[in-house]
Amino acid sequence: MKAASISDFRELARRRLPNIFFEYIDGGSYAEETLRRNVGDLEAIALRQLVMRDTTKLDMSVQTLGQTMNMPVGLSPVGMAGMYARRGETQAARAAAKAGVPFCLSTVSVCSIEEVAATGTPPWFQLYMLKDRGYMRELLARVKAVGSPVLVFTVDLPTPGSRYRDIRSGFTGAGKLEAMMVQAWEGVTHPAWTWDVFVNGRPHTLGSVQAAVTEGKRVNDFLSWIGRNFDRSVTWKDLDWVRETWDGPIVVKGVLDAADARDAVKAGAQGLVVSNHGGRQLDGVKSSISALPRIAQAVGGDLEVYMDGGVRSGLDVLKALALGAKACFVGRPWAWALGAGGQPAIERMLDILRAELAVAMILTGCTDVRDAGRSLLDEG
* Active site positions, annotated: 277
Count the alpha carbons within 13 Å of 10 in the hemisphere toward its beta carbon.
12
CA 304 – CA 297 distance, rounded (Å): 12
CA 299 – CA 305 distance, rounded (Å): 8
CA nearest 81: which of 128, 3, 35, 21?
21
Pairing of strands 250-255, 271-274: parallel
Please name the helix (run of DSSP H) or strand (run of DSSP E) that holds residue 94, with its range, or none: helix 88-99
CB 180 within 8 A of CB 174: no
CA 127 – CA 135 distance, rounded (Å): 12
Max Cα separation, the chain? 66
Q: Which amino acid is at 262?
A: R
CA 208 – CA 251 distance, rounded (Å): 20
